[in-house]
Amino acid sequence: MIRRAKDGLPARVSGSRTQEKLAYVERYVRAFMTAMAPKRKPGQWSELVYMDFLAGPGRGIDRKTGAEFDGSPLRALTVTPPFDRLYLSDLDARNVEALRRRIPQGDRSRVDLRQGDCHTIAADVTSHLSRRTLALAFVDPQGFEVRFRLFETLATRPVDILYLFPGGIGIARNLRSFVKRAQAPLDDLIPGWRGLKRARYQYTGQGEPYFTNENNVRMYHLLFFSQHPAGLTLWRNVTRVEPSGQRRLPF
């Protein structure tokens, strides 16, 4: 659902779990940049970049309280040390224009903002990245608009991925229906279902966090993928502490 925010631009309406999700993402983004930024000096990485090809309008509204909050692209812009470049896009031209107007003037020179399909834009962006560019991509679909080839594309370069996987409401609730269909949304997301290719991502985080709705029904799972064990170590440290500050129990 879309509603007008206080700045007159469109914003996504969502539940409290969206802010919880964003808290984990922002925490990892900050840990990523704190750990990787010093490595630019010795020349290990020439550039550190952020990718969000389903960026939305940049602002959200809590459906219960009406409180407004920054979305993932605007949060990534505030990280210190800063990313060298941010690649942002959305299929909806209205979202792109809203996000464009919300990006501070001083940050626009390091933002590549486009309108179009996430798979096409990801392929173009990654093809122009040098092998010495390290990237972090947040993949945050509303449903099944993401296909597996997006991850195959990102895997051609050193890219850590945080992916909001629709394991509960999207897959668990529809699995019986998908089985009966010759071509279901899950076929594009997970080709072969049980024979999923690894796409070079050897280090994955597939435990918590799992996000529920107001009725405590599991909805989404925030997955992590990296080509280097250091990324997984950072992610595990991030997820040991909940956004509330509560440390997770080790079981």
pLDDT given at position 142: 79
Q: Where are the domains of the chain?
A: 2-239
What are the DSSP calls for 11-40, one per residue?
A: EEEE-HHHHHHHHHHHHHHHHHHHHHGGGG
Sorting pLDDT into bands at 50, 70 and 90, what band is 79?
Answer: very high
Look up the CATH number of domain 2-239: 3.40.50.150
Contact between 12 and 2 (Cβ < 8 Å): yes
Of the chain, the end-to-end C-alpha distance in Å amounts to 36
Contact between 19 and 65 (Cβ < 8 Å): no
Q: Is 11 exposed, middle or buried (0-12, 13-18, 19+ CB in 10 A)?
A: buried
Q: Verify cis geometry, omega within 30 degrees of 0, for the bond prior to 81.
A: yes
CA gap 44, 42 in Å, rounded: 6
User: For residue range 169-227, what is the model confidence (pLDDT) as tens digits?
Assistant: 545 554 455 444 555 554 455 554 434 444 554 544 555 554 455 555 455 678 888 98
User: For residue range 41-77, what is the model confidence (pLDDT) as tens digits?
Assistant: 787 899 999 999 999 999 999 999 999 999 999 999 9
